Structure 1
Amino acid sequence: MTPVPPEKMPRHIAIVMDGNRRWAKARFLPKIEGHRRGVKAVRRTVEACLDLRVPTLTLYTFSSENWNRPEEEVSSLMNLLAIHLRKEMDELVEEGVRFRALGRIQELPGNIQSLVRELEEKTRNNTRLDFNIALNYGGRIELVDAARALAREVAAGTLDPEEIDEVRLSARLTTAGQVDPDLLIRTGGEQRISNFLLWQMAYTEMVFLPIFWPEFDTAHLEQAIREYAGRDRRFGAAR
């Protein structure tokens, strides 16, 4: 990739990995094969972010709305997730990747919960890349959970309602301690954020790609970064 000045590199990239099922359908393959190929794209993306020294990567893996998909597909997705969480664990540790799961993890199958917690614990001291996967995640639910946490503190008398501000609310989100996404990439040709990181993406730059997620590779990532680097980010200020 043509070198991008450090000050123009995104510190946090978020990706909506859309198009696994349509990729499979176009090739007359089972839906799960699209998800399997999508896992390979995840691996390529993590490796590319390590090479490019992107500090934080967040992937929209399974939304709170995805439970509405056919039971067989959801079950296959959970099995695939369990296999790859276990398979990639040692490599993430060795590569210096810190793993975090965003969302209502307590509502996932028990084996997924155990693997997530084990991976978070094993990688908690790593610093090369903060790698987040959003599991059973929805932006509105995240804000509801944050509001409930603040309300409990107010009810307990440990927080004055007048002290609630953006900083305190941000600290109750699942991304607490991380910078907000600078760049959102969505594959699949759709142009919406689909209830993803609603609070965090107030000033995120967005790049929409017409390819399906299994096709996403380093060249597409670099393309999106170059487009991002060429934009003038003013955060509401005058030109």
Structure 2
Amino acid sequence: MPDLLPRPVPQHVAIIMDGNGRWATARALPRVAGHREGAKAVRRIVEAAIAQGVRYLTLFAFSSENWQRPPGEVADLTFLLKHYLRSELNEMHEQGVCLKIIGERERFGPNLTGELAAAEAKTANNTRLTLVMALSYGGRADIVAAARKAIAAGMAPEALTEQNFAALLATDGIPDPDLLIRTSGELRISNFLLWQTAYSELLFTDVLWPDFGAAEFAAALDEFATRERRFGARPA
């Protein structure tokens, strides 16, 4: 695939992958069929991110609120996560992808937690793309966990800054997203990277996640290139 580099290219793109269920319902298929197609879309977007020169890609794969879904659907999502990890890990490694997991991974049980840790260790030295998978993740919980770390470390209130607080978040060492994309037409960020997206450009598309591909990703980056980012400052 040729490299197509629109300017400026966002260093970090975060995506709320939404619409798997509606994709399946529109085709009179079970919801798990939508999740399977959504997993295929993940591969396409990882490849597209590499081709476009994006350095960090964060995917909201399973929110902390997703545990409230019917047990059968949670089991299907967990199975697909295992399948994706086992089937894609070697290729991700060969492509130079570094996998990082954020969220309460231990809720998936010791077996999957161990597989996730092994996958991170295997890909730790790769530098072409950092793929951050948010699993059992919630933005509010991330902020609360960081506050607890600060308290446990005995940090004085006057010593707490935005910079050292950010270092206590799950995304420590990862730059804040330049661009946040949400598929499926919903216009909210659903407790995703609340601190980190303070100055992200937001892009909402009606395309359902299973239909989101390289062309849609490139179009999102083209739109990003037209944005004037001021970070609260006045226009020049």
User: For this structure pair, what is the TM-score category when the shorter chain's length is used for normalisation?
Assistant: over 0.9
Q: Distance in 2 between matches of 1:220 and 1:55?
A: 18
Q: Answer whether contact 2:6 2:225 (CA < 8 A) is retained.
A: yes
One-letter code aligned to 1:214: P
Give, in angstroms, the shift of residue 210 of structure 1: 0.5
Q: Determine the C-alpha separation between the residues in 1 that align with 2:96 and 2:130.
A: 9
SS at match of 1:65: helix
Once residues 110 and 212 of structure 2 are traced to their aligned partners in structure 1, the CA distance between those partners, rounded to angstroms, is 31
1:232 to 219, 228, 231: 228
Q: 8 Å contact 2:55–2:130 — kept in the other structure?
A: yes
Q: Provide the C-alpha distance between the structure 1 equivalents of 2:5 and 2:38, rounded to a whole number of angstroms.
A: 28
1:103-118 mapped onto 2 (5 Å cutoff): 103-118=103-118
1:160 deviation in Å? 2.6
Q: How many residues align?
A: 233
8 A Cα contact 2:5 2:52, kept in partner: no
TM-score, normalised to structure 2, is 0.96
Question: How many angstroms does 1:161 deviate by?
Answer: 2.5
Q: In 2, distance between residues paired with 1:3 and 1:89?
A: 26
Give 2:179's match in structure 1, choosing from 166, 171, 183: 183
The RMSD of aligned alpha carbons is 1.1
Q: Conserved in 2, the CA contact under 8 Å of 1:207 and 1:224?
A: yes
Q: Answer yes or no: is the 8 Å Cα contact 1:181–1:201 preserved in 2.
A: yes
Q: Which amino acid aligns with 1:205?
A: E
Q: CA deviation at 1:168?
A: 1.0
- CA offset digits 1:167-201 (Å, max 9, x no partner): 11111111101110000111011011000000000
Match of 2:79 in 1: 79
**In structure 2, how many angstroms separate the alpha carbons of the residues matched to 1:171 and 1:146?**
8
Q: Are 2:9 and 2:53, in contact at CA under 8 Å, matched by a contact in 1?
A: no
Question: Following the alignment from structure 2 to structure 1, what is the Cα–Cα distance between the partners of residues 49 and 9?
Answer: 11
Q: Which residue of 1 aligns with 2:21?
A: 21
Matches within 5 A, 1:202-217: 202-217=198-213
Structure 1 gaps of 5+ residues are none
Aligned to 1:97: 97
Equivalent positions of 1:93-172 (< 5 A) are 93-154=93-154, 159-172=155-168
Percent identity reads 49
Checking the alignment, whether the CA contact within 8 Å between 1:82 and 1:111 is kept in structure 2 is no
Q: CA deviation at 1:53?
A: 1.4
Q: For 1:146, what is the secondary structure of its paired residue?
A: helix
Match of 2:216 in 1: 220
Cα deviation digits, residues 54-101 of structure 1 (max 9, x gap): 000000000000001000000111011111111111111111100001
C-alpha separation between the residues in 1 aligned to 2:115 and 2:163? 31
TM-score (norm 1): 0.95
* 1:162 shift after superposition: 1.5
CA drift at 1:2: 6.8
Kindly indicate whether the alpha-carbon contact (under 8 Å) linking 2:181 and 2:202 is maintained by their aligned counterparts in 1.
Answer: yes
2:190 matches 1:194: yes
Distance in structure 2 (CA, Å) of the matches to 1:152 and 1:2 = 47
CA distance in 2, matches of 1:106, 1:238: 44
Distance in 2 (alpha carbons) for counterparts of 1:3 and 1:212:
25
Query: CA–CA distance in 2 between the matches of 1:117 and 1:48?
Result: 25
